[in-house]
Amino acid sequence: MSFAGNFLQPVIDGLVLGSFYALVALGYSMVYGIIKLLNFAHGDIYMIGAFSCLAAFGAVSHFLAGWVAIAISILIAMIIAAIVGFLAQRFAYRPLLGAPRLTLLITAIGVSLVLYNSAMGLTNSQPLFFTSGLDNSLGLKFGSITISYIKIILIIISAVVMVSLHLFINRTMMGKAMRAIALDQDTCKLMGINIYKVIGITFVIGSALAAIAGGMSCVYYGSVVYYMGYSIGIKAFTSAVIGGIGSIPGAMLGGLLLGMLESFGTQIVGSQWKDVFAFGLLIVILILRPNGLLGKTEIERM
């Protein structure tokens, strides 16, 4: 097989898959960094975003087509997912911010089950199909391999979103407030920072990022099913842990790394063993770096 078949194709596929993981992992890291909550409902927010994008595209496609219709559909999905994420934190998580972490964790599992079973009931457990109308055969040719323009555009969109988030966290006052609350909530209250507002915005941004990944998965896979959030939720959480839970660059790095490992694992050992290959290597990484690749040791004050 050619160089493109052995290396370039798995790299592109790994970047696309890793982009999905990274966008969802960012939500995990942002929420954990601020309120130390492992939001296991986040994968289901991704699923809600995918269903919302599918429904929005069905309406928008009567008037527009191509990437314009897809972009508007993803924007609508971001708004819906952001509302769902905000409502979850307002009514399920905020009243329990002072409770033990285990209580918050169980609540997150409960929210996940509510979203999961709601989607299952509304769709009658049947998959729905997304027909974008885009030509997947068009792309850049490298010998016998064609890298479709769809994959290239999805990678570019993910890169722009992740860079924009990094700049937002590090260059804006709201981003500084998020980082301050992650360090010390009590001091932030004394300094006049509205921590509930910042936490709400964190959930909104994280949910919107998950919706972007959900919309992109509609275009990439062409179908939506109620249990799609379970798998990517576990893998995105793993990505966040590998990169260093609570670290924004770590979530990006962890997602891309896991996507690459799965892509090359499919080529090396086959699709049935790709998860064994990927997670086996990730276990080794955690043994060598228990806090993640970019994570830092946390010291809890008594």
Residue 167 lies in a domain: yes
- State the residue range of the domain holding 135: 14-256
Residue 58 lies in a domain: yes
Hey, how many other C-beta atoms are within 10 angstroms of the C-beta on 296? 11
Give the count of domains, the chain: 1
Q: Is residue 69 exposed (0-12), middle (13-18) or buried (19+ Cβ within 10 Å)?
A: buried
Residue 294 lies in a domain: no
Residue 36 lies in a domain: yes
Residue 273 lies in a domain: no
From 213, 201, 226, select the one nearest 44 (Cα to Cα).
226
Residue 54 lies in a domain: yes
pLDDT band at 24 (very low <50, low <70, confident <90, very high): very high
* Tokens 């979530």, residue located: 251
Question: pLDDT digit string (tens) for 261-271?
Answer: 888 888 888 87
pLDDT band at 302 (very low <50, low <70, confident <90, very high): very low
Question: pLDDT digit string (tens) for 92-116?
Answer: 999 998 888 889 999 999 999 999 9
From 182, 56, 38, select the one nearest 111 (Cα to Cα).
38
What CATH number did the domain enclosing 109 receive?
1.10.3470
Residue 245 lies in a domain: yes
Mean pLDDT of the region 43-66: 92
Residue 285 lies in a domain: no
